Amino acid sequence: MSEAIARDIVRRIGAEELTPGTQLPPEAKMLEEYRVGRGSLREALRILEVHGLISIKPGPRGGPTVDQVHTENFGRMATLYFQMDGVTFADLVDARVVMEPTLAALAAQRPDPQLVGELSRFTGSTRTDDDEYAREADDFHRLVAAMSGNPVMTLFGQSLTDILRDRLSPPLFPKSRRVAVLAVHTAIAEAVTAGDVASAEHLMREHMTEYAAYARRRHPGLMREVVDWR
């Protein structure tokens, strides 16, 4: 019963195009609508909260609220299955090496004018301080994934990045290599903007191959570990 209610709430959020921050009906109204016990309704809401689709605020003005869908939540759920299946961090790195070039190629095939404008801010960057560099590198890969136009590929690709970022911090590349990495980001951005599919894919593949090599060099023990549920 609780799963059926949860599915119906998700359908409602999609059908009514409820945006993040929208408050769902109060408990009393939902109990009346679904004609179920309080326990079943609360379990349904808890299912959605665990998956990061809603948040529940306590207090008289609280209640269930639609949350922003984050790739981190999908990645967190995936780590449970990765752990049970014995997937290692090396497997995740290898998957990124395969997926990121495909995302870059797709982005070059269909360059959205608005997103191309956003991509331009990564060209010529020289920010090498830890926090700024890490944030900019993450934003760059996130935007290229979004530009692919394939929400499934974007979700899978970015969730892998989220999982690895949590365990490979501080920034993977040393400061001595960051200017070169940012130059590669610039070259990839220019290839995507120009619609040069072959170059975008090739440059991203070289970039991710170097990324994988650094990951193995700096974190050899972690690479052999099974991904843990977080």
Q: How many Cα neighbours within 13 Å face the side chain of 10?
A: 16
Per-residue confidence band for 10, with pLDDT thresholds at 50, 70 and 90: very high
What letter does residue 168 receive in the DSSP assignment?
S
CA 197 – CA 193 distance, rounded (Å): 10
- Domain limits, CATH 1.10.10.10, in the chain: 2-66
- Domain limits, CATH 1.20.120.530, in the chain: 72-224
The second-level CATH assignment, the architecture, of 2-66 is Orthogonal Bundle (1.10)
DSSP SS3 for 54: strand
CA 93 – CA 113 distance, rounded (Å): 31
Say if CB 176 and CB 137 are below 8 A apart.
Answer: no
pLDDT of residue 126: 87
* Residue 195, C-beta contacts closer than 8 angstroms, at least 6 positions apart: 108, 109, 111
**Across residues 224-228, what is the average pLDDT?**
96
Q: Name residue 216's amino acid.
A: R
CA 210 – CA 92 distance, rounded (Å): 15
CA 11 – CA 143 distance, rounded (Å): 28
pLDDT of residue 49: 95
- Quote the radius of gyration of the chain (alpha carbons, Å): 21
pLDDT of residue 170: 67
pLDDT in tens, 53-101: 999 988 777 889 999 989 999 999 999 999 999 999 999 999 999 999 9
pLDDT in tens, 120-177: 998 988 888 988 898 899 999 999 999 999 999 999 999 999 999 888 866 788 888 8
CATH for 72-224 is 1.20.120.530
